[in-house]
Structure 1
Amino acid sequence: MPSIDFILPHWLYWGTLIVFPVVAMVMARRRQTTGYSLPIGYMILVTGGLLGLHRLYMRNLWGVLYLPVFLAILVANAQERSAREVQSEASNLVKTAERVIERAEPRVSGAEEKLAQLRAELDAAEEGTFAEKRAERMLEKEQDAIKAAETRLEKARTDLETARPELTQAGEARAMWSNVAFGAFLVICAFMALDALLLPLLVRSARERLRAQDHPPADADPDSLEAIEAQAAARLEAIEHEKVSGDFANVGAGWTGAIDRLSYYSGEFVSYWAVIAVFAYYFEVVARYVFNSPTIWVHEGMFLMFGMQYLIAGAYAALTDAHVKVDVFYAEWSPLRKAVVDLFTSIFFFIFAGTLLVTGWIFAMDATVVDEVSFSEWTIAYWPFKWAIAVGAVLLILQGISKLASDVATVRNSLQGA
């Protein structure tokens, strides 16, 4: 299988984080219509064509044929990785054995000459002297060294005899499984190329089936699958319309309303980053298991993105009352009592948010001054992520001020009404 050496450029990473949510927000505000879209079909073909998801999107069961071919790629790549591990181990064993043989053979082959020289020195030494004892020790040491060398040499020859066939077999197996994976990949590519040409026809056929389901004959069974699907599509369209029209049902007016809208839009903006993560991790899975080319940037880019999302979405969570809290008693209280308690607890809220702002500002300034980058080969700049701490803190403080004004208004109106 060919490898993938693509590394996401920094400008494309940031451009996607900015442009994609804007486009998604615009599309989300368009009136939802039922049916099949040709652009979406091509998008799914590009992103999920290896699995035949473009055909499954149009409920075309021929897309199931993609799955066994894709599974064959995964199995072949797994076998190729196993063969590569065996090949690596056998290669290391062969190299180690060859080095041992290269070093031990000269010593073993010249052992008799060396031993004869040491024996002659022992015979020449005067009995009972230090020279005799030294010669004996040298002879014993050399005999032990030669014996150890012979043992290593014998083991190395045995390892070499065993490892060379394993190395050859592993290399052949690796090449075979790589060819199988590449062949299956070419089959899927051929399927995708054909479907790229047939996709307009497939979308047209899917739309015709959908129209037939939406307008069943007058005598059609109301409990049939087509009738049920038509009713479900109508309900889904109504729900989507109600959701869009009710997005700002609880947003106030005036300056507090402006803050609420800012919190809402910022939370909606970063929420679409989760969709980017789906595509990014899909690319990582395909690169790792199909092309045996794991990436460096996907995991790092996504956890940095989710860190910014967590910080910037804090104001949205405060607006929608989505932060985790224990409200066993709070939920049953009157609006006045809730407002009074919220006014008291806002002290702790602003202490936290202020600390987050100051700390985030310090972190961001330090990272900007030194132009801090990641330690990975991707080397993306860290200062934009550090500034997200300060931005999230500012949004949170603004939303806290809006909530504070709302609570004060609730208390004032309750007292005036009393």
Structure 2
Amino acid sequence: MPEPVKLFVRSVDTFNRWVGRFSMRLIFVMAAVLLYATFSRVVLGIPINWVMEMSQFLLSAYYLLGGAYSMQLDAHVRMDLFYGRLSPRRRAATDVFTILFIIFYLAVLFAGGLSSTEYAWSYNQKNYTAWAPPMWPIKAIMTFGIFLMLLQAISAFLKDFAMARGKPIA
């Protein structure tokens, strides 16, 4: 593979590893928010109206920012009727074909995310709840997570293509 392709694959993998490891810690932030809400409601007698939405936003950021890292680790669910019996090169060739559908899906999802984020920003969209937070920050995070998954899918495609040719990218 040409050196720019190898550089792209290494850069995407490194960045997604960093973002994925960061996003793993968001579960602790979410737990802290929920613990604070429980303490406030039970001990202080003061219910907090923003906790449910904030925990939903944190969970969304957690799994969308961690999605590319999960893809990188090959930790996603795969239907394995015949795939496990294939040689590594045949698996890579199969993945080269199937990842194209994922890339298409993620590209469409990314375009929709950009449109939705731009709308939320332009019209100052707020959620219809008592807290009424602006929606553009979480939509921007979600779109960024989808973009990272798209980059990781392209990286996986390039690695699988190289493996199918018998020349894996180290």
Partner of 2:46: 293
Partner of 1:340: 93
Partner of 2:125: 372
Partner of 1:282: 35
Partner of 1:319: 72
Partner of 1:400: 153
The gaps in structure 2 that reach 5 residues or longer are: 1-5
Q: In the alignment, residue 270 of structure 1 is paired with which amino acid?
A: S
**Cα separation, 2, equivalents of 1:361 and 1:333:** 39
Deviation at 1:355, TM superposition (A): 1.3
Preserved CA contact (<8 Å) 1:296 1:378: yes
Preserved CA contact (<8 Å) 1:356 1:389: no
What's the RMSD between the two structures over aligned residues? 1.5
Query: Which secondary structure state, in structure 2, belongs to the residue aligned with residue 290 of structure 1?
Result: helix
Partner of 2:3: none
The gaps in structure 1 that reach 5 residues or longer are: 1-252
Deviation at 1:409, TM superposition (A): 1.0
Match of 2:14 among 261, 264, 277: 261
Q: Residue by residue, what CA displacement relative to the aligned partner does 1:352-403 show, whole Å, maximum 9, x if unpaired?
A: 1011101101110110001112233323211011112321121111111111
Does 2:128 align with 1:390?
A: no
In structure 2, do the counterparts of structure 1 residues 351 and 255 end up closer, same or farther at CA, with 3 Å as the change threshold? closer
Percent of pairs identical after alignment? 28
TM norm structure 1: 0.37
Q: Looking at CA atoms only, which structure, 1 or 2, has the larger radius of gyration?
A: 1
| Pairing of 1:25-44 with structure 2 (within 5 A) | none
Preserved CA contact (<8 Å) 1:319 1:399: yes
Aligned length: 162
Q: In the alignment, residue 329 of structure 1 is paired with which amino acid?
A: F
Q: Residue by residue, what CA displacement relative to the aligned partner does 1:121-168 show, whole Å, maximum 9, x if unpaired?
A: xxxxxxxxxxxxxxxxxxxxxxxxxxxxxxxxxxxxxxxxxxxxxxxx
**Cα separation, 1, equivalents of 2:31 and 2:142:** 24
Partner of 2:82: 329
Partner of 2:164: 411
Preserved CA contact (<8 Å) 1:361 1:389: no
Query: Which secondary structure state, in structure 2, belongs to the residue aligned with residue 313 of structure 1?
Result: helix
**Cα separation, 2, equivalents of 1:322 and 1:411:** 21
TM norm structure 2: 0.88
Partner of 1:271: 24
Q: In the alignment, residue 139 of structure 2 is paired with which amino acid?
A: K
